[in-house]
Amino acid sequence: MKTQTLQSIQEVEEDFIRTIPILDNYCTSNQKKMLQESATRHIYRKNNVIFYDFQPASFIYIIYKGKLKLWMEGIHSHDMIVSFAKDGDILGYRGCGQKTKYNLSATTIEDSCIYIVSKDVFGQILQENQELYHQVLWKYVGKLGMVEKKLRNMAEMNVREKTADAILHLTEEFGLDGDEATLAIKLSREEIASIAGISTDRIVKQFSEFEEDNLLEVHGQCIKILDKSRLEKIISQYL
């Protein structure tokens, strides 16, 4: 899977709604038209911050193409990556409710094309469309459950388990390249450490141990999984 380039994602079609399953499946024709006419398209380069934690939630972000990390500032100013977003995901709908601030920060991890809609427009559509409202609510509840499980596991897992869990999570989230072994996402050691909730030094040391155990091959930001079943066995008690 190749990383999107800025040039390729600029060539997007204007009828973007049909590429966002939750909107295409549950919005009425008039609501799709309203979103289409009110949305503005933005191209963000890799490592651009889209919004910050506790910033006023004024907009909804619809990801047409790209990948983002959602993070929060942890202990001693070390960022912790809580989850990810990719093609077809919607961010910021929490701002449509009474709480008007984002609860996480969002940063691109590759060049991305994102459509932005005001929370007032999106909130009006949610009020009119109960089916869409419930779909958005269940997606939010599902994400919240995943975050709670991640935080609980981080409190209980040792370094080896946290590292294996982070690699398997990335596999589930982004898949593998054509060789069916290499992660289809390239992240720095610092970013993977932020997912696992450990220091960069510890992630580097654990990668070396996994390579010695023939579990992984690591070359720069390319991670090749050699034995997925053994990685899963490491965290089997938490599955």
Give me the pLDDT at residue 12, please.
46
Sheet with 67-73: list strands edge to edge.
Answer: 49-51, 105-108, 67-73, 79-86
Give me the pLDDT at residue 5, please.
52
- Each residue of 120-142: pLDDT tens digit? 999 999 999 999 999 998 988 88
User: pLDDT-based confidence at 73, cuts 50/70/90?
Assistant: confident
- Each residue of 2-35: pLDDT tens digit? 445 555 555 445 678 999 999 999 999 999 999 9
Report the 10 Å Cβ neighbour count for 169: 19
Between CA 230 and CA 227 the distance in angstroms is 6
Between CA 152 and CA 171 the distance in angstroms is 20
User: pLDDT-based confidence at 149, cuts 50/70/90?
Assistant: confident
Q: Check whether 212 has a pLDDT greater than 60.
A: yes
Give me the pLDDT at residue 2, please.
45
Are the beta carbons of 43 and 6 closer than 8 angstroms? yes
Give me the pLDDT at residue 93, please.
78
Q: What does the pLDDT average to over 159-166?
A: 96
- Each residue of 168-207: pLDDT tens digit? 999 999 999 989 999 999 999 999 999 999 999 999 999 9
**8: β partners:** none
For the chain, give the mean pLDDT.
89
Of 93, 104, 87, 100, nearest to 132 by C-alpha is 93
Between CA 159 and CA 153 the distance in angstroms is 11
Which of the residue ranges 40-44, 133-137, 149-153 would you say has the lowest mean pLDDT?
A: 149-153
Between CA 50 and CA 185 the distance in angstroms is 20
Give me the pLDDT at residue 155, please.
87
Give me the pLDDT at residue 1, please.
40
- Each residue of 88-124: pLDDT tens digit? 999 987 666 666 889 899 999 999 999 999 999 999 9
Give me the pLDDT at residue 44, please.
96
**Helices 159-174/189-196 angle, 10° precision:** 110
Of 150, 155, 162, nearest to 210 by C-alpha is 162
Q: How many residues does the chain have?
A: 239
Between CA 162 and CA 96 the distance in angstroms is 34
Between CA 216 and CA 214 the distance in angstroms is 6
Q: What does the pLDDT average to over 64-70?
A: 95
